[in-house]
Chains A and B, each alone.
Chain A
C-alpha cells in the first residue's frame, strides 16, 4: 500500500515511512557528528524536518565477543570433545560439530600474541586455519582424533555472536601504583603518568538513543563491516546508570577486516576489535535532541586501576571532550590520555552505514521488543571469604633515620623481627632496613643508619587482596612489604611467612 505524502505539519514519522524514502533514494541521512552540527546551527525543528536517519559508530576492543561455527560432519563422524584451531582452544557448547571461538581464548603455543580474536580475523580474511579435535568416541560417533584445514567457505555457519558489545561509555584508567601495570585498559605507567580511555563519545550508538527508544531486539545494525542484528541486551546491561550494552549477531562470512581485528594486550590477553554502528531513525523531535548530544555532555570517571579491587577509587569526573583533547585534569595534575578504541574507524563505521542507506543497500528495522531499562548489574555472590592484607598485617617496628646502627641491632633482637621501617616525625615511610643490612653494617664497621637504608621500598595497601601483595613480593624477591596509607604513613607490615601461612592453608 502506498504511503500518503508526509503531511508537513506532522511531527512524527515511522520506520516504514523512512524505509520507503530509502527505497526511492531520497532519505536524508547524517552521521551523528553531522547531526550535532546541524542542530547547533539550525535548531531542532529544522533538523527534524530535514533528517530521517542518524548513523552512529564505534570501533573498540570488545572482549565478550566470539564466533559460532559449524564445521560439518567428518566421515566417520566425530562428537568433538576438545578442539583447537590454530592452537587456540575452542569451546564445544553444543552437539557434535558446533564450536564457539571465544575472542579472549589464547593460543597454547603463542599465548598473549595470538588468540580467538586473531583467529576470527584470519577466517574473515579467507585464510586457511587448522582444526584439531579429540573425542571419547561413541557408537554413533566413533572417531576419536581429527585434523583438517578449513577456510570460511568450508564452514556451514560462521556467525559473530557477541554477548556484550557496544558499552555506552567506559572508565578512564590511571595507575596510582609505583610500577607499570598492564591491564585491559592497556599499559598504565606508574604514578599516574598516563591515562587511557575507550569509546567514541558522541558517536557511540547507545549515547544517541540512551532510552532505547529505537534500539531493541531485531534492530538491524552495522557489524564488523557486514550487517547484523541486536538480539537482546548485553550481559551486565544497566541502562539506568548509562552502562547499557548489547548482544548482537551477524554473518561473519560477509564481514571485512577493516572493521574486525584481533588484538593483543600485553600481559592481559587477546581480544577482538569490532566496528559496530546503529542507524537511529529520527521518528520525533525528541530523537533529534537525543542525537544532538555532544562530547562535553558525556562524562566518565577517572579510575585508579592500580587498586586491584572490584570497586576501584574514582579520582575525577571528565567529559569525552576532555578525553579527546589528549589530556585530563585530576586534582592539580594534567595527565596525557590516549584512546584504546579508534575514533577514525568509528567515524568510518558511521559514514559507511550512511553510504549504505543512501544507496538503498540497508533498510531500517523497528525492534520487535524493547530492551529492559531496569536491570541491575550485581557483583558476584561469594560464599568463601577472600583474604586481604588487613587480615595478616602485623604491627611494624620502626626507627628514625638519626638512630645508630647499634640501637637498631638491639631492637631487632628484642622485638625478634627482620624488618625495621625508617619513618619521619609524621610516621611516613622513608626507607627500610633488614636484619641482614644490620649484620653487614656491623661487620663492615658502619655506624650511620642512612648509609644502609633501602630507599626504594615496595609497599602494600590495607585493602589490597593478599594474593596481589604476595605476587609483588615474589616478583621482587623480597620477604615483606610495609603497609602504608595514602599519606605514606606506616600502618604495619605484611611478611611472606604470614602470607603463606594463610594462603597455603587450604
Chain B
C-alpha cells in the first residue's frame, strides 16, 4: 500500500471526489485520517501500490493537490525504550507493552503530516523516510 495526502481547497471540498475516483478507477481507497470543513482540508489515504500513478493523476485532474507524505520509521537498534514518544502520539501508534519496550504500529501512524514524535526522541531513533522509490512531486501551484 502507498499513502497519499490529498488537499482539498474551499471550492472543491463539497464534491464527492474520493467516491468518484473509486468508482471511475475501480480501486479501493482507504481513508486513514480526514480533517475537512467547509473551508477545505486534508485527507490521508491508502491505495494499492500498483495503482498509485493513475490514482494520483485522477485526483489531480479533479483539482486536488496530491502529495506523498513520508513514512515514520523507528530504528530498533537506536531506540532506548525511554517512552518519550508515547504520550505525544495523537493516534496511539506508539505504545508501551508489558515488558516496557515500545511497539510502533506503522499502519496507525499518520506519517510525516504529524511528526509529533520525531523531534522528541532523545536517541534520534525516529526518522521520516520516503515511501519506496515513489517520486510523486507536489503539484501545489
Instruction: Tell me how far the C-beta of A225 lies from the nearest C-beta in chain B, rounded to whole angstroms.
Output: 13
Interface status of A301 (Cβ within 8 A of chain B): no
Contact check, A261 vs B80: say whether CB atoms are below 8 A apart.
Answer: yes
- Give how many A residues have a beta carbon under 8 Å from the other chain's beta carbons: 30
- How many residue pairs link A and B with beta carbons under 8 A? The number is 67
Contact check, A338 vs B85: say whether CB atoms are below 8 A apart.
Answer: yes
In the complex the two chains form, what is the Cα distance from A344 to B79 in whole Å? 12
Contact check, A187 vs B88: say whether CB atoms are below 8 A apart.
Answer: yes
Instruction: Tell me how far the C-beta of A174 lies from the nearest C-beta in chain B, rounded to whole angstroms.
Output: 11
- Give how many B residues have a beta carbon under 8 Å from the other chain's beta carbons: 18
Interface status of B100 (Cβ within 8 A of chain A): yes
Contact check, A261 vs B88: say whether CB atoms are below 8 A apart.
Answer: no
Which residue of B is nearest A195, CB measured?
B87
In the complex the two chains form, what is the Cα distance from A158 to B84 in whole Å? 31
Interface status of A264 (Cβ within 8 A of chain B): yes
Interface status of A160 (Cβ within 8 A of chain B): no
Contact check, A261 vs B123: say whether CB atoms are below 8 A apart.
Answer: yes
Interface mask (B59-95 → A, CB under 8 Å = 1, otherwise 0): 0000000000000000000001111111110000000
Chain A 238-263 residues near chain B, CB threshold 8 A: 261, 263
Q: Specify which chain B residues have a CB less than 8 angstroms from the CB of A341 in the assembled complex.
A: 82
Contact check, A337 vs B119: say whether CB atoms are below 8 A apart.
Answer: no
Instruction: Tell me how far the C-beta of B64 lies from the nearest C-beta in chain A, rounded to whole angstroms.
Output: 29
Q: Specify which chain A residues have a CB less than 8 angstroms from the CB of B120 in the assembled complex.
A: 186-187, 266
Interface status of A463 (Cβ within 8 A of chain B): no
Contact check, B84 vs A339: say whether CB atoms are below 8 A apart.
Answer: yes
In the complex the two chains form, what is the Cα distance from A187 to B85 in whole Å? 9
Interface status of A326 (Cβ within 8 A of chain B): yes
In the complex the two chains form, what is the Cα distance from A339 to B120 in whole Å? 12
Q: Specify which chain A residues have a CB less than 8 angstroms from the CB of B123 in the assembled complex.
A: 261, 263
Instruction: Tell me how far the C-beta of A384 lies from the nearest C-beta in chain B, rounded to whole angstroms.
Output: 35
7 nearest A-B pairs in the assembled complex, by CB-CB distance: A263-B122, A338-B87, A336-B87, A187-B120, A344-B100, A266-B119, A338-B86
Interface residues of B (CB under 8 A from A): 80-88, 96, 99-101, 119-120, 122-124
22 A-B contacts (beta carbon < 8 Å): A59-B80, A113-B124, A186-B122, A187-B88, A194-B87, A194-B88, A195-B87, A196-B84, A263-B80, A264-B122, A264-B124, A266-B120, A326-B86, A338-B86, A340-B122, A341-B82, A342-B80, A343-B81, A343-B83, A344-B81, A344-B99, A344-B100
